[in-house]
Amino acid sequence: MKQHIGIVLSSLLSALLAVVGYRFFEGPKEIVIRETVPAQYTNFDPLEVSKQRAFLSASPTDFIAAAERITPSVVNIKTIQGKGGFDFWGNDAESSSSGSGVVISSDGYIVTNNHVIEDSDHISVTLNDKREYEAELIGTDPSTDLALLKIKANNLTHIEFGNSDSLRVGEWVLAVGNPFNLESTVTAGIVSAKGRSIDILEGQDRIESFIQTDAAVNPGNSGGALVNTNGELIGINTAIITRSGRYEGYSFAVPVNLVRKVIKDLMDFGVVQRGILGVFIDEMTSELAKELQLEAVEGVYITRVTPGSGADDAGLKEGDVIIGINGTKTRTMPEMQEQVGRYRPGNSISVDYFRNGNKSRANVVLKNKSNSTSIITAENRDILFDLGFELRDLTREEKKRLDVEGVKVVSIYRGSRIERTNMDPGFIITKMDNKKITSVEELVEELENANGKVMLEGIYENYSGEYYYAFPVK
């Protein structure tokens, strides 16, 4: 027994000496290594720092909470075109269509696509809880394919706006709408691209800088919500590219940062206040970038500057390459148009550009189509549209060269009252009913207060003498 006790004690003493010796010679290295082990449970790995997100909009990829948050805010929109009755062939003259919309305020404002409600005579909205309302059209903006509706309801569940600038290619998104009249359908995909132009909108003022996704979007989804996984609105689903008429892998949404500005204008004025930089632009090419000694094939090339525009006042010139607006890079034309499209006439923006290989910055005060910083109301726009022409203020150079004050006719609509007077574009209006006119704002005010026939007096730059045109206002 004593022999066994001696062996055990000897073994314990040997083990103790071994441990002490090990700690004496190798201890510090082992301590450092072992202290890193708990970090495994905090999901921290020094080699994986680059994978940590700078924002949380796409994490986690469990879509349940986001879907539950957004579906009560997405509505079904039905429209009716025509007043009923029958056409020449005895067919029903009334037609209908449907789409989606998103509730953006508790008191009943709803955003959708312009093409969803275009040319409609009656608009009805069905909420997620099956309640149905007649909708009032507040305003439209064909240039971005957006429209604003209003229903008489309160305490509605509405969506929160996110930040479309923070979106990154590869980020998870959800599309929510009513495809084929299937209510509250949720599909998932990723952001495939940003700043995409697909040439579906018409007009010189169009802004196409779509978010491209592979979330399934079909007829009826138009006007519905594109959201991040936090359930925040980051786009309004607008279009698909398809040969079959069904979803084929590509869908496009208007970014919410542009939506926010357009909808605010429609709420405040009934018409979008579009700030114009005053330049004609083109995409950058590899050959042009090499010629201009640019390091990268990106930016927007200025081909011409409008005299008297904000860009002209700020010193921008033909040949400059715009590379940023308010610190945001503008690699392509759609990206630049989206950034400028967020501002109103009278707003000042900073423009970064290259000229002769050097980077510069200019502060530009945006103007409207009339070449002024005045706010346009729905009434102002409607009276000029109703008469059939577009106008702008004369530039400083034109006033000096022609020694005249007035406004210039930019374009004339076919079949309009103005066209029937035989007036031509380029006519400079100097007087109305013998009263001097110095701005578009003045002329609009005079037209609004006029009754019966009015007489416009003016000149053409390349023709001598004065010209007179009379037409009825109301």
User: Looking at the annotation, which residues are catalytic?
Assistant: 115, 145, 222
Nearest-CA neighbor of 149 among 177, 122, 110?
A: 110
Sign of the C-alpha dihedral, residues 310, 315, 321, 327? Answer: negative
Show the beta-strand stretches assigned E in 206-247. Answer: 210-213, 225-227, 233-240
* Burial of 128 per CB tally in 10 Å (0-12, 13-18, 19+): middle
Name the one residue in this structure whose structure tokens are 């802004």.
207
Sign of the C-alpha dihedral, residues 363, 365, 398, 418? Answer: positive
- In whole angstroms, what is the distance from residue 118 CA to residue 116 CA? 6
- In whole angstroms, what is the distance from residue 314 CA to residue 229 CA? 42
DSSP 85-149: SB-TTS-B--EEEEEEEEE-STT-EEEE-HHHHTT-SEEEEE-TTS-EEE-EEEEEETTTTEEEE
Using left for φ > 0, alpha for ψ between -120 and 50, and beta otherwise, residue 44 falls in: beta
- The CA-to-CA distance between both ends of the chain, in Å, stands at 125
- In whole angstroms, what is the distance from residue 273 CA to residue 299 CA? 25
Contact 247, 222 (CB under 8 A): no
Name the one residue in this structure whose structure tokens are 């990106």.
298
Which spans in 231-307 are helix H? 256-269, 286-291
Q: Which amino acid is at 185?
A: T
